[in-house]
Amino acid sequence: MSDTTRERIEEALKKHDKGYNCAQAVSCVFCDKVGINEAIMFRFTEGMGLGMGGMEGTCGAIGAASILSGLKNSSAHLESPDSKKLSYEMSSQCLSNFKNQNGSVICKDLKGAETGTVLRSCNDCIADSVRIIDETLF
């Protein structure tokens, strides 16, 4: 793992400790890579907390990969969208890597909400996601 990746992980964990949700913490450390102001990224990802707004869906930390993939890869050809395939592939690769490592991408499963068995803490999900996104997308 590169020093830059370690620094991004540390910064994401600081943001999470400060009150950012998992998606915000991960996404905001890549603002420099996708040319987005942090306040805008924060707003884009606010509803992704607790597994897309309520612990029932995809973990926000790795869900950030989908936002970042689109921001990195989209051609923004509004009249004739032509870059979705690449964005989908890169996002899918990040989520697959996360699932292979942690056993799930579902927040409630990772937190053990129904089983009582925690697969991965939020901080570990954030660290894993930053590393996976950095290695896969950037």
For 74, counting Cβ atoms within 10 Å of its Cβ (0-12 exposed, 13-18 middle, 19+ buried), the class is middle
| Total domain count, the chain | 1
pLDDT tens-place string over residues 65-116: 999 999 999 999 999 999 999 999 999 999 999 999 999 999 999 999 889 9
Q: Say what the pLDDT of residue 55 is.
A: 64
Amino acid letter, 70: G
State mean pLDDT over 8-36.
98
pLDDT tens-place string over residues 31-62: 999 999 999 999 999 999 888 777 678 999 99
Bridge partners of residue 106, in order along the sequence: 58
Give the residue numbers spanning the domain of 81.
3-137
- pTM equals 0.94
Q: Say what the pLDDT of residue 112 is.
A: 92
